[in-house]
Amino acid sequence: MLKKKLKKWILIERKNTKQIQMTKKTIDVFHNKKTRVPFFVPDISKSDKLVVMNALNSRMLTDGPQLRKFEQEFAKYTGSKYAVGVSNGTASLHLALKALGLKKGDEVIIPDITFVATANSVLLTGATPVLADVNYNDMNISLDSIKQNITSKTKAILPVHLAGKICKMSEIKKIAKKNNLLLIEDCAHAIGTKLNNKHAGTFGDIGCFSFYPTKNFTTIEGGMVITSSKRIAEYVTSARSHGLTRSLANRYSKGKPWDYDISEPGFNYRLDEIRSSLGLSQLKRIDSLNSKRFLASKYYSKQLEKIPEIITPEIFRKKEHTYHLYIIRIKNEFGQNRDQVFKKLKKAGIEVSLHYKPLHRFSGYKNLTKTYGKLDNSEQIYKESLSLPFYPAIPKKQQDLVINNIKNYRV
Ligand SMILES: Cc1ncc(COP(=O)(O)O)c(C=O)c1O
């Protein structure tokens, strides 16, 4: 009997090993064979894998104790009163805007340079995204452009801490207060970013985070809403789970499980226990991951600053910029334009990207967004910018390869 069981177990183990080997192959073919420097490599540790396996042993695979713990730890890390986990960053923005009552006819000012999710979340509420220009130097939303875009319909400002660099929050707060506007921060790039010891996302009414694989830490897919308002936290908690007034654990521990109400239909934006466990494990390493990003960005800048026709991101005090991305600008005087540099780097096996194509350039947004000002900086930045390969554990050798290639392209 025991022998039979053992045989069966060995067979299962063999099958699992085979499957793991197949997975490894899949990872290898993800990158082009010619890739010498990948754009991004996620940082997944042995303990990350262990906690994921442990979470799979749980009877409650979603909306359970790991999520509660992750929320508590994230609130502690960001210094916010409440943190509510959701299925991704877009869901966090969508629920934040819903919690603040944004609706058709309202206008929300967002930067022209951001990921499309910022605009989409506004559109999901029925409100209109109004595109503001960005500063030429740090690519964050411009204060002058915010002021130009305020109308009688404006209800909120939604700044994005692009690439991990904090926006001018005290000035934006003043504009919001003076014009009686709500303030939501898109902190998808800004885990760990602080200004005067205050974490990004705690300056306005709500802060929204993404834990997508390339972000400063990851739950694969995942997001978080932070706020100091009990009402907002309760709304998001209910709306992420179909609008139910009671959580799964609460329904099974007290009274009748079916004894809940729906005061407003919600969504399925839940964050499961596997992702929450991974988030908890990654959160423990966030400061070390961000320090590695900081050092890698300094290394790039030290070399690339020597080329006057290349603009490197400013090296700010450690916490004001957490280098989610490393974006350079290539001026005309370099002799090769951005597209030419892109092509050459690609040919050399170096993966580069662009963050982001300005929103006003997308055909689908032409009739859905508005702007009352000019978007000159965003246009200029679009022509010049290039995101270099960048991740916490990027080897110096790989950075050298990128730096030397760029140096050689100078005419
Ligand atoms: C600036 C910005 N906002 C929002 C999001 C949306 O996050 P998610 O992909 O987790 O939905 C992203 C994600 O990539 C982003 O970069």
Question: What does the alpha-carbon distance between residue 275 and residue 89 come to, in Å, rounded to a whole number?
Answer: 14
Cα atoms found within 13 Å of the Cα of residue 47, Cβ hemisphere only: 7
| pLDDT value, residue 5 | 63
Whether residue 227 contacts residue 205, with contact meaning beta carbons closer than 8 Å, is answered with yes
Could you report the per-residue pLDDT of 140-182, keeping only the tens digit for each?
999 999 999 999 999 999 999 999 999 999 999 999 999 999 9
- How many domains would you assign to the chain? 2
| pLDDT value, residue 249 | 85
Whether residue 99 contacts residue 206, with contact meaning beta carbons closer than 8 Å, is answered with yes
* 276 and 294 together in one domain: no
Of 223, 252, 282, the position where a domain reaches its end is 282
Q: What is the Cα 348 distance to its own chain's centre?
A: 29
- Lateral strand order in the sheet of 107-111: 82-86, 223-227, 206-210, 182-186, 154-157, 107-111, 128-132
Residue at 53 is within a domain: yes
Catalytic residue at 215? yes
Residue 321's Cβ-count burial label (10 Å; 0-12, 13-18, 19+) is buried
* 251 and 304 together in one domain: no
Residue 42's Cβ-count burial label (10 Å; 0-12, 13-18, 19+) is middle
* 398 and 321 together in one domain: yes
* 366 and 332 together in one domain: yes
**251 Cα: distance to centroid of ligand 1 (angstroms):** 32
Could you report the per-residue pLDDT of 200-247, keeping only the tens digit for each?
999 999 999 999 999 999 999 999 999 999 999 999 999 999 999 998
In testing the pocket of ligand 1, which one of 93, 97, 115 has its CB within 8 Å of the most ligand atoms? 115
- The closest residue, in CA terms, to atom 16 on ligand 1 is 115
Whether residue 202 contacts residue 80, with contact meaning beta carbons closer than 8 Å, is answered with yes
In testing the pocket of ligand 1, which one of 40, 86, 90 has its CB within 8 Å of the most ligand atoms? 90
Question: In ligand 1, which atom is closest to the CA atom of 212?
Answer: 10
* 271 and 301 together in one domain: no
Question: In ligand 1, which atom is closest to the CA atom of 114?
Answer: 1
Question: What does the alpha-carbon distance between residue 62 and residue 274 come to, in Å, rounded to a whole number?
Answer: 8
Vertex 410 angle, CA 408 and 411, to 5°: 120
Average pLDDT over the chain, rounded to whole? Answer: 93
**120 Cα: distance to centroid of ligand 1 (angstroms):** 10
φ, ψ of residue 194 to 5 degrees: the values are -135, 155
Report cis status (omega within 30 of 0) of the bond before 326: no
Question: In ligand 1, which atom is closest to the CA atom of 121?
Answer: 4
Question: What does the alpha-carbon distance between residue 259 and residue 1 come to, in Å, rounded to a whole number?
Answer: 48
* 274 and 300 together in one domain: no
**359 Cα: distance to centroid of ligand 1 (angstroms):** 14
Residue at 15 is within a domain: no
Range of the domain at 242: 46-282
What CATH code is carried by the domain that includes residue 103? 3.40.640.10
Catalytic option among 215, 318, 383, 396: 215
Whether residue 123 contacts residue 106, with contact meaning beta carbons closer than 8 Å, is answered with no
Question: What residue type is 9 in one-letter code?
Answer: W
* 70 and 187 together in one domain: yes
| CA-based torsion, 278, 276, 198, 141: positive or negative | positive
Residue in this structure with the two tokens 């226990």, named with its chain if needed:
273
Q: For the whole model, what pTM was predicted?
A: 0.93
Question: In ligand 1, which atom is closest to the CA atom of 223?
Answer: 10
* 308 and 200 together in one domain: no
Provide residues with CB under 6 Å of ligand 1. Answer: 88-90, 114-115, 117-118, 160, 186, 188-189, 210, 212, 223
**158 Cα: distance to centroid of ligand 1 (angstroms):** 13
Inform me whether the pLDDT recorded for 29 exceeds 50: no
Q: What is the Cα 332 distance to its own chain's centre?
A: 31
Categorize the per-residue pLDDT at 314 as very low, low, confident or very high, splitting at 50, 70 and 90: confident
Question: What does the alpha-carbon distance between residue 62 and residue 70 come to, in Å, rounded to a whole number?
Answer: 13
Residue 218's Cβ-count burial label (10 Å; 0-12, 13-18, 19+) is buried
Of 282, 303, 333, the position where a domain reaches its end is 282
In testing the pocket of ligand 1, which one of 134, 191, 208, 210 has its CB within 8 Å of the most ligand atoms? 210
| pLDDT value, residue 315 | 66
Categorize the per-residue pLDDT at 319 as very low, low, confident or very high, splitting at 50, 70 and 90: confident
Residue at 60 is within a domain: yes
**254 Cα: distance to centroid of ligand 1 (angstroms):** 37
Residue at 6 is within a domain: no
Of 282, 315, 337, the position where a domain reaches its end is 282
Residue at 41 is within a domain: no
